[in-house]
Structure 1
Amino acid sequence: MKDYPTKGIVPPMVTPLLDQDTLDVGGLEKLVDHLVTGGVHGLFIMGTTGEGPSLSYRLREELIQRTCSLAKNRVPVLVGITDTSMVEALRIAKTAEKEGAAALVLAPPFYFNITDQELREYMDEVLEQIQLPLFLYNMPPLTKKSIPLPMINELAHRPEVVGVKDSSGDLFYFHKLNRLGNRQQYSLLVGPEELLMETLLLGADGGVPGGANIFPQLYVDLFETIGEGNIDRGRKLHNRIVELCSVVYDGTEQSSGNIISGIKQALSYRNICSSAVAHPLQKVSKKKANRIKSFIEEYTD
């Protein structure tokens, strides 16, 4: 399916694994069906929640091929191509195009501290060589680089740039991004689900919430409820999402692993896929697993 999502809920899909370099194929099929049945508007693979940087290139290509095939013509697939190597980012982009992905998602390359000029030249070169539409991905907690607002304003004038995914968690940045002069030319999706209701009310076009892997209908309901202007029901759904975050994402340290391993543990209790994560991430503790299990049982009763 070629049409990329401009609005709605686009889960950052986890990558079901059996071990460090083996895709949980059965789990992937169940997960895609679970998300599509839940009413999501697209799938985003190989992002942070999908453990993209931890996957071998062989596994990434297999994931793209299988996910695009499983999604068929039901929902569009967005593919994360962020890498430390431009050559590899472009190679993954070509695989995504060949397999029928709808769009690409690109964050600043991580590891090196880079200047604004270096980032701009990197993005310009990627844009010159790709064939699919592109979402810019602002994720400064992990890339060490926030995409400057003037750069987004300039890049969004290019026809290849169709959206921005902001996972900064910075509401002031979001407000300024939402007020850029050419804002109507691109879709604005927000990552942190604790801010989903607020940002939808403020003008975001949708969200990329990790918890939608577990309960996609919950997040779709919130999106639709806010669109209908039903704030009271929206608050109730929002509170449920905050409760999910407090249980599934809880951890003693600030770690992406707390979120990813928590989501996978929850999915295993829903009999959707394995709870295995790629190193350096680790599975959740027994104590946290029990809390997640109780939450899943309560919610699905």
Structure 2
Amino acid sequence: MKKAELPQPLRGIIPPIITPLLARDTLDKAGLAKLVEHILGGGVHGIFILGTTGELSSLSYRVRHEMVESTCEWVAGRVPVLVGITDTALPESIQLAQTAEKCGAAAVVAAAPYYFSLNQAELTSYYQHLADQLPLPLFLYNMPSHTKISLAPKSVKILAQHPHIVGIKDSSGNGVNFQLLHYQLKDEPDFSLLVGPEELTAEVVLLGAHGGINGGANLFPRLYVDLYEAAVNRDLDRLLPLHQRVLQISTHLYSVGNSQASYLQGVKCALSLMGICRNILAEPLQPFGEKEQKIIRQHLQEIQAALNTKVPV
């Protein structure tokens, strides 16, 4: 299959895409194709599959491998594909990475194993051992809200010396930690520093980070690409209203209901209303019901009006 080369550092907006489903354990390939074309049409710089937004931990291994194969086939080398291989069993991570390499992915991404809590020395050793056995470059993934472990900036500095570890996605939401990380890596210009929470993307790119792996780019990819470009060019007159639209999305689409998964429920619900995929989540998560869908529909229409985006809802 065609493969896009991985820039070092990787810059821009790399959406962490949802996994479209027809049922609990059935990939929606038609929905995936629609989603990929919708996102690539917004000018994004890469695609990240099987992350938190992709419901990795809830998917069977069969669906994970199928998602890799189908995404890489549809993207066809137009942008780099990053594949999440997070697992509590290291051999499973390696097997998924092998599938990713065979299918033409550019890199893999791994958060910390999320059952036993490792200390920093153990976590550093784990990543080094994992990277030694991978067929593709590795991005670290700092996601302490789900893994119970925060990857310390000093640990990242050590891991950045490994020839196969090429970057990090920081989804801690901790601005101070991110700035310390940026400082620790000031002498590593090829090491990609990417942020997860989209509320921070404008700020960190202005300060020299390389881009964002932002969930809202599933919905409005061009908005996030424009935000990134305005930040890179330090065009504050253009940047500030774009940042306000991102905050509108975060505030109104990610906080409906009382589930800790409201962000993911909101994104999938909105995509279903846009006609891109179905409103189906992998269990144990449940999709929004009619009450929440009505709220999402209203907010989505308001956001589209603000963006002057004509999408059927």
Q: Following TM superposition, where does structure 1 have runs of at least 4 consecutive aligned residues deviating by more than 3 angstroms?
A: 251-254
Q: Distance in 2 between matches of 1:221 and 1:120?
A: 36
* Structure 2 gap ranges (5+): none
Please tell me whether residue 179 in structure 1 is matched to residue 183 in structure 2: yes
The residue aligned with 1:23 is 27
Given that residues 9 and 209 in structure 1 are in contact (C-alpha distance below 8 angstroms), is that contact kept between their aligned partners in structure 2? yes
Gaps in structure 1 of 5+ consecutive residues: none
Q: 1:69 aligns with which of 45, 69, 73?
A: 73
* 3-state SS, counterpart of residue 136 of structure 1: strand
Q: Which residue of 2 aligns with 1:44?
A: 48
In structure 2, the residue matched to 1:218 is 223
Once the two structures are superposed, the pairs formed by residues 106-255 of structure 1 within 5 Å of their partners are 106-180=110-184, 181-253=186-258, 255=260
The alignment-based identity, stated in percent, is 48
2:273 paired with 1:269: yes
CA deviation profile, 1:4-35 (whole Å, cap 9, x unmatched): 25100000000000111000111000000111
Following superposition, the deviation at residue 253 of structure 1 comes to 3.5
Given that residues 132 and 164 in structure 2 are in contact (C-alpha distance below 8 angstroms), is that contact kept between their aligned partners in structure 1? Answer: no
Tell me the TM-score normalised to structure 2 length: 0.93
Query: Aligned pairs, how many?
Result: 300
Q: TM-score, normalised by structure 1?
A: 0.96
> Does the CA contact (< 8 Å) of 2:253 and 2:300 recur in 1?
no
Question: What residue is the counterpart of 2:6 in the other structure?
Answer: 4
Alpha-carbon distance between aligned partners in 2 of 1:267 and 1:131, rounded to the nearest angstrom: 33
CA–CA distance in structure 2, aligned partners of residues 263 and 102 of structure 1: 26
State the alpha-carbon separation in 1 of the partners of residues 188 and 244 from structure 2: 29
Query: What amino acid is the match of 1:47?
Result: G
Q: 2:93 aligns with which of 82, 89, 95?
A: 89
Kindly indicate whether the alpha-carbon contact (under 8 Å) linking 2:4 and 2:79 is maintained by their aligned counterparts in 1: no
CA RMSD of aligned residues (A): 1.3
What displacement does 1:104 show? 0.5
CA contact (8 A) 2:193 2:210 kept: yes
Give the distance between the partners of 1:195 and 1:152, measured in 2 at CA: 20
Report the Cα offset of residue 254 of structure 1: 5.9
Amino acid in structure 2 at the alignment position of 1:3: E
Whole-angstrom CA distance in 2 between matches of 1:73 and 1:124: 28
CA contact (8 A) 1:4 1:78 kept: no
Report the CA distance between 1:251 and its aligned residue: 3.4
